[in-house]
Amino acid sequence: MTALLMEIARWTLFLFGAFFVLVGALGVIRLPDIYSRLHAAGLADSLGAALLLLAMMIGAEWLAVVKLGLILLILLITGPTATHALARAARAAGAKPFLADSAKRKKKE
């Protein structure tokens, strides 16, 4: 019974993790500006990878769990840091955020 519950939990985490990674990839493709794309990529990276790594931890040996936990910790630290650094670089380069109000004003003119 516990093996069945572990498999259900593992597959649930795998599916949700894959879903978040795919939605983040679609966000990177579909969103209009660099800031929105960074937001989508940052969330998908953090949450999707965390769920996938947690799914791999279920039922694994203790050494594998420790290694996957360290990978998760590194990803949760470096992902938001890299996203922040890219956003600052985009701002320094003069990238302007897409604003819905300015798009409506341009259409009216």
Q: How many domains does the chain have?
A: 1
Residues 6+ apart with CB under 8 A from 76: 46, 50
23 pLDDT higher than 60: yes
Mean pLDDT, the chain, integer = 90
| Residue 43, domain extent | 8-94
Is residue 105 in a domain? no
Is residue 107 in a domain? no
Collapsing DSSP to helix, strand or coil, 98 comes out as coil
Render pLDDT for 64-100 as a digit per residue (tens, 0 to 9). 999 999 999 999 999 999 999 999 999 999 988 888 6
Q: Are 53 and 80 in contact (CB under 8 A)?
A: no
Which residue type does 41 have? A
Residues 6+ apart with CB under 8 A from 65: 57
Is residue 90 in a domain? yes
What ranges in 44-99 are assigned the alpha helix state H? Answer: 49-57, 62-92
